[in-house]
């Protein structure tokens, strides 16, 4: 596993592109004698591997990108999770990010009651910067990535994620039928962020009801890190709910100024993550990147609740959830409350209905009240309680196709052997 820390994605690409451009690793007992598995040898020792059913890669010379698909669990159905277009410094960073995100998707789909498993995919450029990818270049990247996804036979279903757009998803769709978040005009569901923000806001309301005995956020103070699609929509909900103060930070000044202009008396800008985390407030809402809470930043926190949309907010989920609990800070698990994005995608597969989304937003409120009440009565943290719920739900196999995902993974692996 150590060799991944010393290996850049470009090294990995060049070592494999000519000799074994396609590779995979399946299950926990892997034979590394097979050249198609050799490039990933040692990955099964990573703590984040955690019983993944399959990991596939392609070193795609035509686009100059590494493609990865991580399939954590298909018990409940096809592995679903977004496609991240992102550059990584080392292969360890890339593999660890993909493995952690795909596992979180298994948990998220399970607690959301979807008949989907968990997966994630990564497109990592090796000889250009993402900002330099022209629209023409993106077409080549996402069309080739679409062929890679087609070769997995539906064991994994792609979706929009960091640095990807509904138009990119439509390019993937030109090569296979295993993709969601396509544009509305093509029968898709479009941007799920307003619903994700509403789901997170409902979880804040549920927490205020259970712990503060109030039906809105009046008199409370909230900090939001990240004012993108979700964070800015969340800011609107929060401001309309009577907060006394809203503290915000973002890497983009214009986004902070935009939110401040909505309520100049209430909104205050903080210039860095550290400044925001040190700010005394009731609720801290991480809505930027992952791993915002780590060994260093946990000491800065000066809030009573952490309730936000970002995926994988805790660098080490068990350790940091336990530390937050000890500090008396209530943490609502990200996978439990930011599920509206994936629910939107699942809805799309069966023909998108806004009324279903509205019902699901109400359900997040009810589920959060139940999670908080039950975890409190059992003396557990909400994270521990949610993990128990996710574990139980993940054991329930798909009612029609219980082993389909594993069979499809085997098919894709045998074609590469
Ligand atoms: P986005 O890219 O639209 O917005 C992210 C914002 O965070 C940007 O404004 C960016 O400038 C800011 N940012 C990045 N790093 C920062 C930092 N270190 N400090 C301060 N600001 C920073 O993304 P989004 O769609 O709003 O998603 C936000 C988070 O929620 C992500 O972690 C995403 O994975 C997660 N999420 C989103 C959805 C959804 O429906 N969009 C669903 C589930 C989870």
**CATH tag, 193-380:** 3.40.50.720
- Whole-number Å distance, alpha carbon 251 to ligand 1 midpoint, is 11
Hey, what are 278's tokens?
A: 């040190």
Residue 15 contacts by C-beta under 8 Å, 6 or more apart in sequence?
A: 39
- Whole-number Å distance, alpha carbon 83 to ligand 1 midpoint, is 15
**Rounded to two decimals, what is the model's pTM?**
0.93
Q: Are 93 and 63 in contact (CB under 8 A)?
A: no
- Whole-number Å distance, alpha carbon 402 to ligand 1 midpoint, is 34
Report the alpha-carbon distance of residue 366 to residue 370 in Å, rounded. 6
Mean pLDDT of 252-271: 98
Mutating to test ligand 1, I would choose from 122, 230, 249 the residue with most ligand atoms within 8 A of its C-beta, which is 230
How high does pLDDT run on average in the chain?
94
- 251 Cβ below 6 A of ligand 1: yes
Hey, what are 23's tokens?
A: 């590779």
Q: Is the pLDDT of residue 10 over 80?
A: yes
Q: Which among 110, 103, 98 has a CA at the least distance from the CA of 161?
A: 98
- 348 Cβ below 6 A of ligand 1: no
- 83 Cβ below 6 A of ligand 1: no
**Residue 73 φ then ψ, to 5°:** -150, 130
Residue 266's CB is within 10 A of a number of other CB atoms, namely 18
Query: Is CATH 3.40.50.300 correct for 2-191+407-414?
Result: no
- 273 Cβ below 6 A of ligand 1: yes
- Whole-number Å distance, alpha carbon 310 to ligand 1 midpoint, is 6
What pLDDT is attached to residue 32? 72
∠ CA 369-375-377 to the nearest 5 degrees? Answer: 100
DSSP of 5-70: HT--HHHHHHHHTTT-SEEEEESSS--TTSHHHHTTTTGGGSGGGTT-SEEEEEEETTTTEEEEEE
- Percentage above 90 pLDDT, the chain: 85
Q: Are 57 and 39 in contact (CB under 8 A)?
A: yes
Report the alpha-carbon distance of residue 8 to residue 320 in Å, rounded. 28
Query: Which candidate in 103, 108, 120, 273 is catalytic?
Result: 120
Q: Is the pLDDT of residue 30 over 70?
A: no
pLDDT interval class at 29 (50, 70, 90): low
Q: Is the pLDDT of residue 28 over 80?
A: no
Q: Which of 36-40, 218-222, 268-272, 284-288 has the lowest mean pLDDT?
A: 36-40
Hey, what are 153's tokens?
A: 């036979």
pLDDT interval class at 90 (50, 70, 90): very high
Shared fold status for 2-191+407-414 and 193-380? yes
Mutating to test ligand 1, I would choose from 229, 237, 249, 293 the residue with most ligand atoms within 8 A of its C-beta, which is 229
110 against 318, higher pLDDT = 110
- 288 Cβ below 6 A of ligand 1: yes
What pLDDT is attached to residue 124? 98
Which residue puts its alpha carbon closest to atom 42 of ligand 1?
341
- Whole-number Å distance, alpha carbon 3 to ligand 1 midpoint, is 31
Q: Which residue has the tokens 């990535």?
A: 145
Torsion of CA 148, 154, 155, 159, to 10 degrees: 70
Q: Is the pLDDT of residue 3 over 70?
A: yes
- 199 Cβ below 6 A of ligand 1: no
Q: Are strands 221-225 and 283-286 parallel, antiparallel or unpaired?
A: parallel
Would you call 103 a catalytic residue per the annotation? no
- 249 Cβ below 6 A of ligand 1: yes
Strand residue runs (E) in 235-318? 245-249, 267-269, 283-286, 305-306
Per residue in 158-211, pLDDT (tens digit) is: 999 889 999 999 999 999 999 999 988 888 887 888 999 999 999 999 999 999
Per residue in 225-245, pLDDT (tens digit) is: 999 999 999 999 999 999 999
Hey, what are 83's tokens?
A: 């496609």
Which residue puts its alpha carbon closest to atom 10 of ligand 1?
226
Mean pLDDT of 52-67: 96
Q: Are 298 and 323 in contact (CB under 8 A)?
A: yes
330 SS3 class: strand
Report the alpha-carbon distance of residue 252 to residue 47 in Å, rounded. 35
Give the start-to-end residue ranges of the domains of the chain.
Answer: 2-191+407-414, 193-380
What pLDDT is attached to residue 318? 87
Q: Which residue has the tokens 């990865």?
A: 68
Report the alpha-carbon distance of residue 115 to residue 346 in Å, rounded. 9
- Whole-number Å distance, alpha carbon 225 to ligand 1 midpoint, is 9
Give the best-scoring range by mean pLDDT among 37-41, 233-237, 311-315. Answer: 233-237
Which residue puts its alpha carbon closest to atom 12 of ligand 1?
226
Report the alpha-carbon distance of residue 121 to residue 95 in Å, rounded. 10
- 229 Cβ below 6 A of ligand 1: yes
Per residue in 314-356, pLDDT (tens digit) is: 998 889 999 999 999 999 999 999 999 999 998 888 888 999 9
């Amino acid at each position: 596993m150590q060799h991944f820390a010393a290996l850049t994605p470009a090294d990995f690409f060049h070592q494999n592109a000519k000799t074994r451009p396609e590779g995979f690793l399946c299950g926990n007992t892997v034979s590394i004698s097979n050249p198609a598995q050799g490039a990933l040898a040692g990955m099964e020792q990573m703590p984040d591997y955690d019983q993944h059913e399959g990991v596939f890669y392609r070193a795609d010379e035509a686009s100059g990108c590494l493609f990865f698909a991580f399939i954590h669990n298909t018990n409940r159905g096809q592995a679903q999770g977004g496609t991240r277009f992102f550059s990584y410094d080392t292969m360890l960073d890339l593999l660890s990010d993909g493995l952690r995100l795909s596992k979180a998707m298994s948990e998220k789909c399970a607690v959301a009651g979807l008949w989907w498993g968990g997966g994630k995919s990564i497109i990592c450029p090796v000889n250009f910067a993402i900002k330099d990818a022209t629209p023409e270049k993106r077409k080549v990247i996402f069309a080739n990535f679409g062929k890679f996804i087609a070769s997995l036979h539906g064991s994994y279903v792609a979706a929009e994620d960091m640095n990807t757009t509904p138009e990119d998803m439509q390019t993937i769709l030109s090569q296979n039928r295993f993709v969601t978040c396509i544009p509305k005009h093509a029968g898709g569901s479009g941007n799920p962020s307003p619903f994700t923000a509403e789901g997170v806001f409902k979880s804040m309301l549920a927490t205020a009801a259970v712990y503060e005995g109030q039906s809105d956020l009046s008199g409370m103070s909230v900090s939001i890190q990240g004012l993108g699609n979700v964070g800015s929509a969340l800011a609107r909900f929060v401001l309309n709910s009577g907060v006394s103060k809203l503290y915000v930070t973002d890497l983009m000044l214009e986004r902070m100024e935009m939110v401040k202009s909505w309520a100049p008396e209430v909104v205050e800008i903080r210039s860095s993550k550290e400044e925001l985390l040190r700010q005394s407030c009731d609720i801290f809402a991480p809505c930027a990147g992952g791993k915002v809470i780590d060994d260093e930043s946990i000491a800065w926190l000066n809030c009573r609740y952490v309730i936000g949309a970002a995926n994988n907010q805790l660098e080490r989920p068990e350790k940091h959830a336990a530390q937050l609990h000890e500090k008396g800070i209530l943490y609502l698990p990200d996978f439990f409350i930011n599920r509206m994005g994936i629910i939107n995608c699942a809805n799309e597969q069966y023909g998108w209905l806004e009324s279903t989304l509205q019902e699901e937003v109400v359900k997040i409120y009810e589920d959060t009240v139940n999670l908080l009440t039950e975890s409190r009565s059992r003396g557990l943290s909400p994270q521990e309680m949610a993990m128990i719920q996710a574990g139980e739900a993940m054991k329930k196999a798909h009612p029609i196709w219980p082993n389909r995902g594993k069979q499809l993974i085997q098919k894709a692996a045998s074609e590469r052997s």
